[in-house]
A and B are shown apart, each in its own frame.
Chain A
Amino acid sequence: MSIVWLAESSLSRAGRVRVGRSGRYYIAEWGKIARLSVCEDGSAASFTPLPGADPTLVDKVETGVVPVLVGTLRGQLGLHGACVGDGADAIAFLGDSTSGKSTLAAAFGQLGFSLLADDAIAVKPQGTMWQVLPHETRHFVDRAALLALELAAPQQASTPNGKASIPALKGTPSPLRAIISLAFDDALTTGPGLRPVAPVEAMGVLVRQAIRLALDDARRLRTEMDHLTDLCTSVPAFELRRPRDLGRLVESVRVVSTLWRGR
């Protein structure tokens, strides 16, 4: 059966990503890395690495975004971002590619936080809260971030885009207590700044970072909107503006830690 392609993006680090439908199945394809086929009810998921694909990238896609995409067909909400927890609560870092989500998550990992997501966050409503479902166990950070974090480069090969995979503390399902949108601001003359954002602004961030397969399903799109509006009214959202200089990463960690301790 032929595939009707519904959307395509070249923004991903995994190269061109496209999503389509073939009969009752959704198809997602990551450049020359892998293909996912899953029934529209979230069953019969099949992940196939493509010949010659880099195994580290295959692993990153398979353990990162794939379970989240499949989860969106089973009532979960998927967000592009990283998420860490302190054993009780979770904090999510959202932002576009190269906004430093994984680096900040890894910095919190060094403070004893566990990893719930490095690239794609799965959340589901539970009563009046939103529960983060952990599924990733490795941070993917580039060499400069490794240096800033004073971590030794791992022995295993890095990905073609220069990221290395480092192990993390495994997280447990935790209620999401804060959403932080990340932005670089090299014009900052002072340190990093954290400001609360209004729900409608948070909604803009969440919409931009939502991960979805069922692009052609009006019922699911309406449900996703209801979930997103509920999420941005029930979980406090902030914007962290900070200099790009990784030598000042500790300042960003300090600002977020202060918020976290005061929650």
Chain B
Amino acid sequence: MIRIHPEARFRIATNVHVRRLEADLVLLDFARGEYYALDAIGAELWDDIARGASIGEMVAALVVRYDVPEATATRDAAALVMELLERSLIEPSPHA
């Protein structure tokens, strides 16, 4: 089980270029020349990260948007954040 503090906040890494394709997002890590895609739910979480939402706020928003249990929303949000961190697409925010 991945655990990230609910107050943790992140920011988009400076090496990332983002374009929206309908509800999806395409991300380019131009430091590595690698592309990634996020589906509609991932794109909403990305937008939450970009506006400085905490993990707790992201989870609360997921629960409301998709009517899912908090445990499910926590697991999904944490999994995406961990993957984005591992790929250096986001980084911990100094204002957390």
A contact residues vs B (CB 8 Å cutoff): 198-200, 203-204, 207, 215, 218, 221-222, 225-226, 229, 232-233
Q: Which of B5-13, B15-23, B81-89 binds A?
A: B15-23
Please report the C-alpha to C-alpha distance between residue A128 and residue B17 in the assembled complex, in whole angstroms. Answer: 22
Q: Is the CB of B28 within 8 A of A200?
A: no
Task: Report Cα–Cα, A222/B33, bound state, in Å.
Answer: 9
**Contact of B61 with A by CB under 8 A:** no
Q: How large is the interface on B (under 10, 10 to 19, 20 to 34, 35 or more residues)?
A: 10 to 19
26 pairs, CB–CB < 8 Å, chain A vs chain B:
A198-B21, A198-B22, A199-B21, A199-B22, A199-B24, A200-B21, A200-B22, A203-B26, A203-B37, A207-B35, A215-B33, A218-B15, A218-B30, A218-B31, A221-B28, A221-B33, A222-B30, A225-B26, A225-B28, A225-B30, A225-B35, A226-B19, A229-B19, A229-B21, A229-B26, A232-B21
Q: How far is the CA of A225 from the CA of B18 in the complex (A)?
A: 9
**Is the CB–CB distance between B33 and A233 below 8 Å?**
no
7 nearest interchain CB pairs?
A200-B24, A199-B21, A229-B19, A218-B30, A221-B30, A225-B28, A200-B21
CB distance from A18 to the nearest CB of B (A): 15
Kindly name the residue among A204, A218, A222, A226 whose own CB sees the greatest number of chain B CB atoms within 10 A.
A218
Number of A-B contacts (CB under 8 A): 40
Chain A interface mostly: helix
Which residues from A are CB-within-8-Å of B37?
200, 203-204
Task: Kindly list chain A residues whose C-beta atoms are within 8 Å of the C-beta of B26.
Answer: 200, 203, 225, 229
Give every chain B residue within 8 A of A229 (Cβ-Cβ). 19, 21, 26
A226–B82 alpha-carbon span in the complex (Å): 27
Please give me the residue from chain B that is nearest to A229 by CB atom.
B19
Which residues of A are found within 8 Å of B35, using beta-carbon distances? 203, 207, 225
- Could you list 4 further interchain pairs (A-B, Cβ under 8 angstroms) beyond the known A199-B21, A200-B37? A200-B22, A218-B30, A225-B28, A225-B30
Q: Which residues of B contact A207 (CB under 8 A)?
A: 35
| CA distance in complex: A141, B30 (Å) | 36
CB distance from B81 to the nearest CB of A (A): 21
Instruction: Give Cα distance in the complex from A218 to B30, angstroms.
Output: 5
Please give the distance in Å from B28's CB to the nearest CB on chain A: 5
B21 touches A225 (CB 8 A): no
Q: Distance in Å from the Cβ of B22 to the closest Cβ of chain A?
A: 6
